[in-house]
Structure 1
Amino acid sequence: MDEWLASALATFITAPLLLFLLVYVGARLFGRRKRSSFYAAVNAATVFFIAAVYFLLAVVFHRSYLVPLLLFLFVLHALIALGYWRKQGDFRLRAVFRLFWRASFLIFASLYAGLMVYGIVVRIAASL
């Protein structure tokens, strides 16, 4: 059982888009609307996109970027909270966290795609 769980986690960290698609299709099969299925997939896949970006950075640049990554997440959350407070005049933690989580998904999915392309290009150029 432990080996199966480790294999599944490794697969989803390596290919978080696969998890995103599986959750989306699964949510659609259980009768949810398209929008709520998409948000369920975003919520499930965000942490795996963050982990995938961390490991891609470590593999491509041969350094650990855990502290800068955590600092980036903290600053992003603080900026979103500040912007929400300035715009709304009120602070709702749930709404701020939801905005932070969705922004993290967009940023880290883009970083994941960019790092994948960059890593492939660098490996191909190094082998020539």
Structure 2
Amino acid sequence: MATFTGGVLGIFAAAPFLMYFLVYVSFKRQTRKLRKSAVIARDVTTFTLFFSVHRLTEVIFNEPFYWALALIFLSGCIGVSVVLWKLEKEITFGKLMKINWRLQFLLMSAAYAGLIVFGIYDRILSA
């Protein structure tokens, strides 16, 4: 059972947008709400993108970059806090985290795509 679970988690870590598709389709069938299904799928995929980007950096550079991921997350929190403070003068934690989580989805998606392209390029050159 542990081997099966590890294999499934490994597939989702290697292909996080497969998880997005599966979560989106399953929630769409259950709730019949497209927007809510997309939000839930994006939130779940953001969580897996953190692990995927970490794993890709570990495979490509032979070194974990926990500090970079933490720095990106904290920079996003600080940037969103400043923008919210300038626009609304009042910051609620829920709104801050919601906007930052969406920002992290965009940043981690871009990092994942960039690392995939760089990894392929690097493997071609080293072959």
TM-score higher than 0.5 here?
Answer: yes
For residues 83-115 of structure 1, give each alpha carbon's deviation from its aligned partner in whole angstroms, at most 9, with x where no partner exists: 112211111111110000010001101110111
For residues 35-64 of structure 1, give each alpha carbon's deviation from its aligned partner in whole angstroms, at most 9, with x where no partner exists: 111111001110111111111111112222
By how many angstroms is 1:4 displaced?
2.3
Q: Structure 2: which 5+ runs fail to align?
A: none
Residues 50-59 or 26-35, more deviating:
26-35
Percent of counterpart pairs with the same letter? 28
For residues 5-56 of structure 1, give each alpha carbon's deviation from its aligned partner in whole angstroms, at most 9, with x where no partner exists: 2222111111111101100111111133221111110011101111111111
Partners of 2:43 and 2:98 in 1: how far apart? 9
For residues 55-82 of structure 1, give each alpha carbon's deviation from its aligned partner in whole angstroms, at most 9, with x where no partner exists: 1111112222111221221121121122
For 1:113, the equivalent position in structure 2 comes to: 113
Partners of 1:19 and 1:94 in 2: how far apart? 25
Partners of 1:85 and 1:3 in 2: how far apart? 48
Residues 60-69 or 17-26, more deviating:
60-69
For 1:56, the equivalent position in structure 2 comes to: 56
Tell me how large the CA RMSD over aligned residues is.
1.2
By how many angstroms is 1:2 displaced?
2.1
The TM-score with structure 2 as length reference comes to 0.93
For 2:75, the equivalent position in structure 1 comes to: 75
Map 1:1-128 onto structure 2 (within 5 A). 1-127=1-127
Matching residue's letter, 2:89: G
Partners of 2:9 and 2:85 in 1: how far apart? 36
Matching residue's letter, 1:27: F
Q: Structure 1: which 5+ runs fail to align?
A: none
